[in-house]
Amino acid sequence: MSVSVIEQAKIQAQVLVPLVKALQAELGEARANALVRKALGDLYRGFGEEFWRARNNTKNESDLGKAVSSAFGTYARDDALAYDVIEQTQDSFAFDVTRCAYAEFYKALGAPELGFLLVCTADFAIAEGFGPDIKLTRTQTIMQGADHCNFRYRRDAGGSQ
């Protein structure tokens, strides 16, 4: 039986929350957060690369909507997220998260700002791992107090420069 991503996040929080708080006390919040973002960014970018490579090798798939929908389903497993799909095409996947168990968990811990740092910032690194032509835009999150998160994935027709 595999452990869902929400359960992994809860387990990881037992170590990461006190570690990040200690780093913030020692290095200052801005420096500690930058260090955590970089370390986790590299890890999550690798997850994105692995997922994209596996998806394209097994399904010979370049359909962004199907690929991101599949990846997102992993994070939504075990009722972790409720969301509404706004658009799904070969070159886009747009959705709004309307309920987030990750945010509920970190709010209950009294550390939603660490939830944003440890969970929400991963979204952009994972998207980077999908390739230089895939762009994620998100302007608000439940973790930061909004009523929904607005994810917009698009394939940039121009590709990388």
pLDDT 10s digits, 25-83 = 999 999 999 999 999 999 999 989 988 887 766 555 578 898 888 888 889 999 999 99
Give me the chain's average pLDDT, please.
Answer: 91
Give the global pTM.
0.88
Closest CA to 96 of 88, 108, 104: 88
Stated length of the chain: 161
Residue 7 makes CB contacts below 8 A (sequence gap 6+) with 78
Percent over 70 (pLDDT), the chain: 93
Residue 161 has pLDDT above 90, yes or no: no
Q: Are 78 and 4 in contact (CB under 8 A)?
A: yes
Bridge partners (DSSP) of residue 39 are none
Q: What is the pLDDT of residues 5-41, one digit of tens each?
A: 999 999 999 999 999 999 999 999 999 999 999 999 9
Residue 118 makes CB contacts below 8 A (sequence gap 6+) with 9, 12, 13, 16, 17, 20, 36, 40, 106
Residue-wise DSSP of 69-93:
HHHHHHHHTTTTEEEEEEEEETTEE
Q: What pLDDT was estimated at residue 105?
A: 97
Residue 144 has pLDDT above 50, yes or no: yes
